[in-house]
Structure 1
Amino acid sequence: MPIIYFNFISYQKRSLRFIKMKSVFSFIYVFFICLFLNAQSFENLTFGSEDTFEVMTWNLENFPKNSTTTINYVTQIVEALDIDLIAIQEISDEASFQQLVSNLPDYYGYLESTYYDGLALLYKSDATRINNIYRIFNTTAYWNAFPRAPMVIDLTYNSQQIYIINNHLKCCGDGVLNLSNSNDEETRRYEAMNLLKTYIDTNLPNENVIVVGDLNDVLTDAESNNVFQNVLDDATNYLFSDFDIAQGSSADWSYPSWPSHLDHILITNELFYAFNLSSSKIQVIKIDESLSGGWDEYDENVSDHRPVALKLTINSNLGLQHTVTNSLRFTSYPNPASSNMVFNFNPSQTNTHIQIVDIMGHLVYSKNLTNGQSKVVFNVESLSNGIYVAKLSSANNTATIKVVVSR
């Protein structure tokens, strides 16, 4: 089994390991897997498409959880989903990961280390070009916040550069954020999220960034205990694409055993426009529903986490709808809001209007502004809790803001 080593210029201290297996034996191997594991039926398990970029986060719980049986299950699941890039957590055995990649002739695999972190990557080489992979916050000063140093994947898809940051944050806790205790689990996750935000704000301020992983906490905690609060408060620049899932039925959450929704996909504002297109999709992939044994079979043979996947149309228009010109400035307060939200902007000219749409693109508010008007007060009490996008348009200029309704 050949293993290819490749050193990136900016990451010289240790070599990055790419695993690529492609032979007729792989096809034969997968064929016999499908014959013998006839209790599985993945015909309806689909997600990827040729015209979109898909990223998925998946905690594979001490992979392989059930030896070769797990490898066989995951092989079929990955092939059925046909996703461009899969960020994985908890790979425990390098040889097993090699076997998984050898079963997937359309995918490359990357695993830096099974020691402690277990962060890994599967990606389709025909659609995605990896420019670089490197770790951040991997020195001893950050071990408390990041027991597993985040993995940054710099890639190009359809001529657009995208940064994926794969994470597995500290687990457990009592649900109470105790900032006076540096060993408090919630405090460690809170610090990790703030460090990630600062890193993006400082190093990738105008880039397409997607933060994924088992973040080991829920998005819907009260503000005083919410480890994501500083990110949620910066609604102009950040959006948890799975926020509506977190607010929805527990049947759709990524960690049914608790139940809770712990696996998330966060995007920066450069991707808001793509996310609001009708072609986009965010989903917890309920693989267990494709198994005859349901959740028990999935939990025994695959993982205790369901994967979360995001689909986006990535093209030359990416980010253009979020350009704020000098002639059009747009702010909102408070955000999140529970009653009234105030939109402030420079005095409007002829044909200026404001619109608010929900996450599915449905119009919930529209108002034409009078000349010289610089403020709109909008009552959100009639809206359901969730994420909306406000758009201010004037002539050829457009500015957008994410609006969060929370009570």
Structure 2
Amino acid sequence: MYKLKIFIITSFLFMQDFDQLEFGNQNHLDIITWNIEWFPKNEQITIDYVAQIIEALDVDLIAMQELDDTVLFNQMINDLDNYNSYYESSWFAGLAFIYKSNEIEINNIYEIYTTSEYWSPFPRSPMVLDMNFLGENYIIINNHFKCCGDGILDLNDNGDEEMRRYIANNLLKEYIELNFNENNVILLGDLNDSLTDEVENNIFQMFIDDSENYLFVDMPIAQGDIIEWSFPNWPSHLDHIIISNELFSIFENGNSYCETIKIDDYFDGGFYEYDQNISDHRPIALKLAVQNSILGDINEDSLINIQDILLIINIILSNEYNYNGDINTDNTIDILDVIQIINIILYQS
């Protein structure tokens, strides 16, 4: 009986670690790319943590890299409510999608560039997801590029690591423009290189130069403070999300954004504990406000009332940041936002 009590208390405390971890909501298409590093890195401990993190984040879609044990992966998915998954195989740490089965309608999932001539640029074949969300069609392309290199792009050596990634980008751009020229395309994954290299060594330059058609939504992360980068061990920012111009207006509507999910902040042991039990990569998340939220509706119940005032006060007291709570969009949640939401309530009454 005593051991049972200890187990229950320990389990409860373990669950509490992620109480403040959140990202998804009903009005947005919420997607993350996450290199999960040879899942499960620490067996059942990893499975338990990742399941809790997925439930806490509450996103619609996860593009995952480095799935190793499909049996344990299936076990985890079966224990999650309202989530389903797809993978081709775990060959060389495979790719996978995890998605909300009650939110996302799957039209097709398939791999591209699978034949031997493409094995050099694509050690893991890109995985394409054709899906519908709230009546709109989206094409999601999950990738895990070749790692390593010396930072120098050698255009005369097809075996050069940077050159292999450069070729992969060219092939993906070509595939998108041939097959999805007018679709909502999101290209993402562990692309294993920096966005901020000099032009002559930048393997992403073809996308960066074509700014009328493509946007790296995580470019501010790459150009910003290293504490936000996706791969702290080096440190570097290697995980990226590109959107096509069909999504520009949605991303720029004021309610959409991209951020690093610093799950390590929720561990007592910080990134070291996260790295030991989950992954050496942090997830990168994209929120697309495909249905605009009502200004001041913090809890997104389509009403603006005292509940929203209480929520915004709790956000201030906990020193957290919630995009919906930043009413005056000054990147700070404070008393000015409380005053503004009160004014909204008084005006509507």
Q: State the TM bucket, normalised to the shorter chain.
A: 0.7 to 0.9
TM-superposed CA distance for 1:180, in Å, is 0.8
1:183 alignment partner in structure 2: 159
Decide whether the 8 Å contact of 2:140 with 2:188 is kept in 1. yes
- SS of aligned partner of 2:77: helix
1:275 and 1:222 map into 2 onto residues whose CA distance is: 26
- Is contact 1:58–1:214 with CA below 8 Å preserved after alignment? yes
In the alignment, what sits opposite 1:9? none
Report which of the two has the higher share of helix: 2
1:38 match: secondary structure = helix
- Give the counterpart letter for 1:228 in structure 2: F
Alignment correspondent of 1:142:
118
Q: 1:103 aligns with which of 75, 79, 88?
A: 79
CA distance in 1, matches of 2:256, 2:221: 15
**1:273 equivalenced with 2:258 (yes/no):** no
Residue aligning to 2:208: 232
Q: 1:293 offset after TM fit, Å? A: 1.1
Matched, 1:153 2:129: yes
Q: Cα distance 1:44–1:230, how it changes in 2: closer, same or farther (>3 A)?
A: same
Matched, 1:251 2:227: yes
Q: Is the 8 A contact 1:55 1:84 kept in 2?
A: yes
Whole-angstrom distance in 2 between the partners of 1:53 and 1:77: 18
What's 2:289 paired with?
A: 313
Matched, 1:196 2:196: no
Q: Which amino acid aligns with 1:265?
A: I
Q: Which has the higher contact order (CA 8 A, sep 6+)?
A: 2
Higher strand share: 1
Give ranges in structure 1 of 5+ residues lacking alignment: 1-30, 317-361, 363-407
**How far apart, CA to CA, are the structure 2 residues paired with 1:130 and 1:315?**
20
C-alpha change, 1:117 and 1:199, in structure 2 (3 Å) is farther
CA distance in 1, matches of 2:20, 2:235: 25
Instruction: Rate the CA distance shift 1:39–1:154 in 2: closer, same or farther, 3 A.
Output: closer
1:163 aligns with 2:139: yes
2:197 maps to what in 1?
Answer: 221
Q: What do the CA deviations read for 1:188-210 (whole angstroms, capped 9, x no partner)?
A: 00000011001111110000000
Q: By how many angstroms is 1:38 displaced?
A: 2.5
Distance 1:297 1:236 in 2: 42
Cα 1:147–1:37 shift into 2, 3 Å: farther
Q: In structure 2, how many angstroms separate the alpha carbons of the residues matched to 1:246 and 1:97?
A: 31
SS class of match (1:88): strand
Q: Give the distance between the partners of 2:210 and 2:171, measured in 1 at CA.
A: 14
The residue that corresponds to 1:297 in the other structure is: 273
Output one character per residue of 1:256-289: Cα deviation in whole Å (capped at 9) or x when no partner.
0000000000000000000001210201100000
Distance 1:223 1:214, change over 3 A: same
Superposition CA RMSD, Å: 1.9
Q: Which residue of 2 aligns with 1:356?
A: none
Unaligned residue ranges in structure 2 (runs of 5+)? 1-6, 293-328, 330-349
AA at the equivalent of 1:56: I
Output aligned runs, 1:386-397, within 5 Å. none
Q: Deviations over 1:365-388 (max 9, x none)?
A: xxxxxxxxxxxxxxxxxxxxxxxx
Classify the secondary structure of the residue corresponding to 2:50: helix
Letter in 2 for 1:64: P
Matched, 1:130 2:103: no
What does 1:26-105 align with in structure 2 at a 5 Å threshold?
A: 35=11, 38=14, 41-105=17-81
Distance 1:33 1:206, change over 3 A: farther
Matched pairs, number: 288
CA contact under 8 A between 1:33 and 1:72: conserved in structure 2?
no
CA contact (8 A) 2:27 2:291 kept: no
- Counterpart of 2:127 in structure 1: which amino acid? M
User: Identical aligned pairs, as a percentage?
Assistant: 53
**Where has structure 1 moved over 6 Å in runs of 4 or more?**
31-34
Once the two structures are TM-superposed, the CA of residue 292 in structure 1 deviates from its matched residue by 1.0
- Which of residues 202, 212, 227 is equivalent to 2:188? 212
